[in-house]
Amino acid sequence: MYRRLSAILFPIATVLLIGALMWGYQENQEKNAILIKAENQYQRAFHSLSFHVDKLHGELGNTLAVHSNSTGSQRKGLVNVWRITSEAQNEINQLPLTMLPFNKTEEFLSRISKFSYQAGVRDLAKQPLTDSEMKNLKELYKSSEHISKQLQEVQDKVLSKRLRWMDVETTLANPNSQQDNTIIDGFKTVDKRVGEYPELDWGPSVASIYNKRSVKKLGGKPVTVNEIKTKAAQFAGVHSPHNIQVTENGKGTEWASYTAKVQGGNKSESVTLDFTRQGGHLINYWSDRHIGPKAITHEQARESAAHFLKNKGYHDLTPVTYDEYDNIGSFTFVKKNKDVLIYPEKVSVRVALDNGHVIGMQASDYVYEQQDGKARKLSTPKLTLEQARKYLNPEYKEQYHRLALIENDMAEKVLTYEFGGAINGSKYRIYLNADNGNEEVVEQIRDGHAKKTSR
């Protein structure tokens, strides 16, 4: 009996064992294939980074080598610098450097990219490179040479020692591991060297991109936790502030803020509000309640959002865009100064389309862009509406127009004519400079995304 049973089970066990071994072998092969693919991608990104930084050094040299009156060659060189720097930034993002301090080098490349782009897109015949900008280019030329040499040294070691980037990931995840640290040490050296470079005058437009909006411009004095509880209770419409939980964020820093959590009547739902510590300005509000099926129209949702803002003390705001997703309508309102829409001072409002209640509001831009309670001083357009229209594509079918203050690619606030319309089967918003007709911003409006609202 046992002999017969073993005669039956032995072949089955053998088949199962062989199957398990084959499955394990296949899994191991697939794992190895994934690791090899990841390693190849890391190696390609690293060697491409070294190549492009060296190329960047050469292109900066070419730009400096041409005559100052050769604006065409200068512009071509600056555009190439911007393109090469963008590629280098992309390659850095492909490397496993999230836990490795390389932020100074990344910011340095980002500033080069912004500087070269903004200098390259302007008319150098009318606005030639200044002495300060030429000085910047010379400093960047020297700095890029140092970075290139250091990366090439790391590259030589990687090739000669056959180092693997997968080991870098392991070392970063486990600092106590005994893996070779050549790559990590090399990148730390590069970043430390970049941090020692002299500070350059990048100009106001580039610097404004990296200078965080200062809370020092906010009105009012620092507020206390109890004051935040009172503000949160008033905004959320609850009678007592005692049960409101308040958390302080970034304590001791310039960017300190408060988060208040208000529990609703139904304990499964709550409202959260964020306030600045300086002045106690509300910058964010949201409810976590469940949203049911859509039951109201776009117009009803817009009226609800407008009524909510007016009731909460936000006046002279106009809805400019609308987006709908997952039974939630999202409106963007901007400040209106006479007939001009002030896009930097914007508030986003989210409305639940099941009952029309506002379930969220984002007001940080509105808070930080306020002019201490004073109305902005706006210039008078040098172009009339009819003159501005002549700068549009003749095939562009205008649907609406309005004056708008926007922030352009140069981080400058400019007065524009906003034209909404369509061309080539697609909808666009085109913002033309109200003084010279230049196209400051062109936005395509895709179906299902933000749409222009009626005024």
Q: Tell me: the pLDDT tens digits for 125-178?
A: 888 888 888 888 888 888 888 888 888 888 888 888 787 777 766 666 666 655
Please give the Cα distance from 153 to 391 (Å, whole number): 52
Give pTM, 2 decimals: 0.66
In a domain, 373, yes or no: no
Please give the Cα distance from 429 to 455 (Å, whole number): 16
Please give the Cα distance from 31 to 19 (Å, whole number): 18
> 133: closest CA among 120, 144, 123, 146?
120
Task: Please give the mean pLDDT across all residues of the chain.
Answer: 82
Predicted confidence (pLDDT) per residue in 272-284, tens digit: 999 988 889 999 9
Please give the Cα distance from 124 to 355 (Å, whole number): 56
In a domain, 130, yes or no: yes
In a domain, 380, yes or no: no
121 shares its domain with 33? yes
- Where do the DSSP E strands lie in 107-199? none
269 shares its domain with 333? yes
**Given pLDDT bands bounded at 50, 70 and 90, which one contains residue 264?**
low
In a domain, 126, yes or no: yes
Mean of the pLDDT values across residues 72-96? 86
Q: What residues contact 328, with CB distance under 8 A and at least 6 apart?
A: 291, 350, 351, 352, 353, 359
- The reported pLDDT for the residue numbered 227 is 93
Q: Which residues share a beta bridge with 445? A: 427
Predicted confidence (pLDDT) per residue in 101-126, tens digit: 677 788 888 888 888 888 888 888 88
3-state secondary structure of 377: coil
127 shares its domain with 264? no
82 shares its domain with 172? yes
**What tokens appear for 263 in the block?**
């529990």
129 shares its domain with 199? yes
Dihedral sign for Cα 297, 299, 305, 311, please: negative
Mean of the pLDDT values across residues 187-209? 68
Please give the Cα distance from 416 to 392 (Å, whole number): 13
Whether the predicted pLDDT of 207 surpasses 60: no
Query: Number of H helices and number of E strands within the chain?
Result: 11, 13
147 shares its domain with 186? yes
Q: Which domain holds residue 123?
A: 14-210
Whether the predicted pLDDT of 2 surpasses 60: no
Of all residues in the chain, what percent carry a pLDDT higher than 90? Answer: 31
- The pairs formed by 427-435 with CB atoms below 8 angstroms and a separation of 24 or more are 428/396, 430/392, 430/396, 431/404, 431/406, 432/388, 432/391, 432/392, 434/381, 434/382, 434/383, 434/388, 434/403, 435/379, 435/381, 435/382, 435/383
Dihedral sign for Cα 9, 12, 18, 20, please: negative
- The reported pLDDT for the residue numbered 266 is 59
Report how many domains make up the chain. 3
Mean of the pLDDT values across residues 278-293? 90
301 shares its domain with 432? no
424 shares its domain with 327? no
Predicted confidence (pLDDT) per residue in 358-409, tens digit: 999 999 888 888 755 556 788 899 999 999 999 999 999 999 999 999 988 7
136 shares its domain with 194? yes
Around 347, how many Cα atoms within 13 Å sit in the side-chain half-sphere? 28
